[in-house]
A and B are shown apart, each in its own frame.
Chain A
Amino acid sequence: MKLQANEPEGPLAEKWQKHQANIKLVNPSNKRKYEIIVVGSGLAGSGAAATFGEMGYNVKCFTYHDSPRRAHSIAAQGGINAAKNYQNDGDSIQRLYHDTIKGGDFRAREANVYRLAEVSVKIIDHCAALGVPFAREYGGLLANRSFGGAQVSRTFYARGQTGQQLLLGAYSALSRQIGLGTVEMHPHEEMLDLVLVDGHAKGIITRNKETGKITSHAADAVVLATGGYGNVYNLSTYARNSNATAIWRAHRKGALFANPCFTQIHPTCIPVSGDYQSKLTLMSESLRNDGRIWVPKKVGDKRAPQDIPEDERDYYLERKYPSFGNLAPRDISSRAAKQVCDEGRGVGPTGLGVYLDFSDAIKRLGEDTIRERYGNLFDIYHEITGESAYQSPMRIFPAVHYTMGGLWVDYNLMSNIPGLFVLGEANFSDHGANRLGASALMQGLADGFFVIPYTIGNYLAECRDKRATVGHSAFKDAEENVNSITKKLLNTRGRHPVSHFHRELGKIMWDHCGMARTKEGLEEGITKIQKLRKEFWQDVNVPGDNEEYNQALEKAGRVADYMELGELMCRDALERDESCGCHFREEHQTEDAEALRNDEDFAYVAAWEFKGVDDTPVMHKEELKYKETKMATRNYK
């Protein structure tokens, strides 16, 4: 299989404009003859469905939530980047592009990233027009804040809930189209299979969560905007229902899965407090400006932090990275925390945590100043842990936060299956091996509002003769496939609930395919996952029936998919015998424990082809050619 990225010719700065001028259009009176399925209603899905509706297409939008407004885009806190240069600090499309591709450690496709930077400016215009209450300065103009990985102030925000406000903006645009009848909304309807007719994506199979009814839906194109797959790790900052089923079932139907091992692990989250834990909550990275990170020097020191004298504390980031100290980059800080906990010096009841101590800052600046700077974060911490960070240090630990990998797409956001498009976190295209802060919202909205509405026309204009109806045998086969999975899950009647297997898988993934990876560890992980997968299908217990509201059954199907995806992530991490961005192979590090990239052998996208559950997948390479960008070593010193 030859992967065609379909990048337009010409200089980077002209590609998108040229492409827009050259791609095929669907004439307005013909648009109403086309049906498009959009799965997911986050920033990318809502934006795409709303815009398709405005353009005159017939749209069906699906979400497993009770309302499109619940998608997990809603939880993003910090902000959204855009190269507006409103601050007059020298920002430009070129600069945003460069920061993003460098932040991704040169493992993303040049042309896609440039386009992302280019359309970023339109996103802010559109969202302001939709009534998103962005933060403003006293003169009434938009305010900005700074974010990691950039030397300019280009992040737009709405308090600490930018994701919520942007999602509600996109949801309002979608709602307007639903009201007008151009979009048919299907809440509580979960996609369980993709249907191919003559090799083209022509529909999906869904299960209604309330009735269990399985339904076929045919269309001229299918757009997946179903988010990331970090819940493979069980514990993450993702919503509990975020899952990989839509993209994984598409993968099983032939869509290539690109760079599955690229997972971002955020250093400052509230640690696990027990076996029952369901969720990890992020604490803004900004806390590291005034907090000092430490653990006891002695292994197994269980004294209260106040009782540990200064000379028995190890401020390990300050010790190891004297120039950056507590503000060392995300990946370094995360790995260092793991290391001290592995040594048995972690704090808190589980030993998986480190202190983030504000006592020096409080002594220096006073409690009021600290309250002014971080009051809301201290409140969240108090709400969750019942502890006051003014009196004793916070306990933090890294957590899975985002997946850069996803289904492979070309410049038009079309996967290798014609007619199947993938947007937002569900695709792999823009963040390489590491995503910068405030870039996820930007990508979701760019893909949904400003890229796919144009590029889908190029496909639709060409496929007029390739229409399918639900009467086609491919739909019946897919429905049977879905039913057989459900039956198998319900009929196993084993000894353990689904959550048991999810927890076990999460542990394997975290230990073997987490912040630091080795050849031996990954090989062991693969063996363990294969064994666990076998146990799952022999010993899972899913109560109830298909024909009812059955949350245990929903969860079981998702965990069944994680059992396969987890193995692929380990394989990808094993194959990528270099360190880059979030992917840290212990075998490949500099003397200072920085990721050691190998551009000669690994400057490619690894796109995996499914060959069967127990068969080895096949990797296809898309070579990454940097024509206008110099591949430099990331330097944070």
Chain B
Amino acid sequence: MNVTLKVWRQKNADEAGYFETLEARNLNPDMSFLEMLDVVNNELEADNKMPVAFDHDCREGICGTCSLTINGQPHGPGEGVASCQVYMRSFKDGDTITIEPFRAKPFPVIRDLVVDRTAFDKIIQSGGFVTVRTGSAPDANAIPIPKETADLAMDAAACIGCGACVAACKNASAMLFVAAKASQLNMLPQGKAEKDTRVLKMVATMDEAGFGNCTNQYECSAACPKLISEDFIGQMNRDYLFASLRQKFLRRKKNA
């Protein structure tokens, strides 16, 4: 099969970007979308042209590196898949396919389809952890956790940190990403001690980075390669509300 690609090219964050039209010929429908890009890049390289820069690594949908907006959809067609799990059989011979980076102000373009997602790391650094020094943990079975709680925490923890939720949201909101990590740790007994500071700090860092507010339309969950539920946003909002109230109360008590 053959397809025509309209690919976003941009040399770096400072230069203006543009769409370049490239032909991808003699494709096998069993190829992955990224393998199709490999083939196009091989031809570009053989012509001594710069290949299309795109992020990828594990190519099995778990590392969260790949980040293509395909025909306007973060991670392209298909439910619950990352860009690397899209196959050419999802397209028709002769299709024109638009490929863009994950677009969001807090994700500046590095080159072509590669964006800078360090804002996500900063959010985790501000509170997405349990404070425990190596070697100081009690026996793992000392704290039983109900199976339902552990399973729900795992549902949230499945997040791969790709940023599709942000790219899918018209407000470029990172609420699903933040909610997934905050909920996972806040619902486990190990994370209870830092429950309030965690959610307050993570949300503050998220706001500083320039991510927008939730639209309540849940495009994030629909685009999520791990189908993380928007319910976690509700849980985070609850945690945030109570944490803010408790903080205010504590401050007043201190001042009195």
Per-residue contact bits, chain B 184-218, to A (CB 8 Å; 1 contact, 0 not):
11001011000000000000000000000000000
B60 within 8 A of A: yes
Per-residue contact bits, chain A 266-288, to B (CB 8 Å; 1 contact, 0 not):
00000001101111010000000
Contact B188 A133 (CB under 8 A): yes
Contact B118 A129 (CB under 8 A): no
Per-residue contact bits, chain B 121-140, to A (CB 8 Å; 1 contact, 0 not):
10011101111111111111
Contact B144 A129 (CB under 8 A): no
B11 within 8 A of A: yes
Contact B62 A131 (CB under 8 A): no
Q: Which residue of B lies closest to A386 (CB)?
A: B89
A168 within 8 A of B: yes
Interchain CB contact (< 8 A) of B57 among A70, A86, A127, A178: A70
Whether A549 contacts B62 in the complex (CB less than 8 A), given A54-B133, A125-B137, A171-B124, comes out as no
Per-residue contact bits, chain B 164-177, to A (CB 8 Å; 1 contact, 0 not):
00000000000000
CB-CB under 8 A from A136, the residues of chain B are 144-147, 150-151
B35 within 8 A of A: yes
B1 within 8 A of A: no
Contact B190 A497 (CB under 8 A): no
How many angstroms between the C-alpha atoms of A75 and B160 in the bound complex?
11
Stretch at the interface among A137-145, A291-299, A304-312, A414-422: A137-145
How many angstroms between the C-alpha atoms of A281 and B62 in the bound complex?
12
Interchain CB contact (< 8 A) of B87 among A67, A178, A386, A500: A386
B111 within 8 A of A: yes
Whether A175 contacts B53 in the complex (CB less than 8 A), given A386-B89, A450-B135, comes out as no
A187 within 8 A of B: yes
A51 within 8 A of B: yes
Contact A276 B64 (CB under 8 A): no
Stretch at the interface among A156-164, A196-204, A513-521: A156-164
Interchain CB contact (< 8 A) of B120 among A67, A125, A127, A163: A67
Interchain CB contact (< 8 A) of B154 among A158, A274, A276, A383: A158
CB-CB under 8 A from A171, the residues of chain B are 124
Contact B58 A543 (CB under 8 A): no
B42 within 8 A of A: yes
Report B167 CB to chain A, min CB distance, Å.
15
* Secondary structure dominating the interface of B: loop
Interchain CB contact (< 8 A) of B161 among A69, A158, A542: A69
CB-CB under 8 A from B250, the residues of chain A are none
Contact B126 A274 (CB under 8 A): no
B48 within 8 A of A: yes
CB-CB under 8 A from B120, the residues of chain A are 67
CB-CB under 8 A from B20, the residues of chain A are none
Contact B46 A541 (CB under 8 A): yes
Whether A128 contacts B134 in the complex (CB less than 8 A), given A210-B110, A279-B59, A552-B51, comes out as no
Contact B124 A499 (CB under 8 A): no
Stretch at the interface among B24-32, B68-76, B91-99: B24-32
Q: Which residue of B lies closest to A126 (CB)?
A: B137
Most buried by B among A131, A175, A276: A131
CB-CB under 8 A from A497, the residues of chain B are 41-42, 45-46
B50 within 8 A of A: yes
Whether A70 contacts B140 in the complex (CB less than 8 A), given A130-B129, A273-B30, comes out as no
CB-CB under 8 A from A450, the residues of chain B are 134-135
How many angstroms between the C-alpha atoms of A127 and B131 in the bound complex?
12
B219 within 8 A of A: no
How many angstroms between the C-alpha atoms of A171 and B56 in the bound complex?
19
B236 within 8 A of A: no
Q: Which residue of A lies closest to B205 (CB)?
A: A179
B227 within 8 A of A: no
Report B198 CB to chain A, min CB distance, Å.
11
B39 within 8 A of A: yes
Contact B157 A133 (CB under 8 A): yes
Q: Which residue of A lies closest to B140 (CB)?
A: A128
Report A5 CB to chain B, min CB distance, Å.
25
Contact B188 A66 (CB under 8 A): no
Whether A133 contacts B57 in the complex (CB less than 8 A), given A274-B28, A278-B34, A496-B46, comes out as no
A569 within 8 A of B: no
Contact A142 B190 (CB under 8 A): no
Per-residue contact bits, chain A 60-93, to B (CB 8 Å; 1 contact, 0 not):
0000011111101011000000001010000000
Most buried by A among B38, B110, B140, B143: B140
CB-CB under 8 A from A384, the residues of chain B are 32, 85, 87
Contact A278 B147 (CB under 8 A): no
Contact A128 B190 (CB under 8 A): yes
Which B residues from 97 to 115 make CB contacts under 8 A with A? 110-111, 114
CB-CB under 8 A from B131, the residues of chain A are 176
Contact B129 A551 (CB under 8 A): no
Report A31 CB to chain B, min CB distance, Å.
14
Per-residue contact bits, chain B 1-23, to A (CB 8 Å; 1 contact, 0 not):
00000000001100000000000
CB-CB under 8 A from B145, the residues of chain A are 136, 140
Contact A129 B132 (CB under 8 A): yes
CB-CB under 8 A from B57, the residues of chain A are 65, 70, 72, 239-241
Q: Which residue of B lies closest to A67 (CB)?
A: B121
Contact A126 B132 (CB under 8 A): yes
Contact B48 A131 (CB under 8 A): no
User: When A and B form their complex, which 4 residue pairs have the shortest distance between CB atoms, in order from nearest?
Assistant: A140-B144, A129-B137, A179-B125, A172-B129
Identify the B interface with A (CB < 8 A).
11-12, 28-32, 34-36, 38-39, 41-42, 44-46, 48-51, 53, 55-60, 62-65, 81, 85, 87, 89, 110-111, 114, 116-118, 120-121, 124-126, 128-141, 143-147, 150-151, 153-154, 157-158, 160-161, 184-185, 188, 190-191
Known: A69-B121, A129-B137, A543-B44. 17 other contacts (CB 8 A): A66-B117, A70-B57, A84-B141, A122-B135, A124-B140, A126-B135, A128-B137, A165-B154, A178-B125, A187-B121, A210-B110, A278-B34, A278-B59, A281-B60, A386-B30, A495-B46, A549-B111
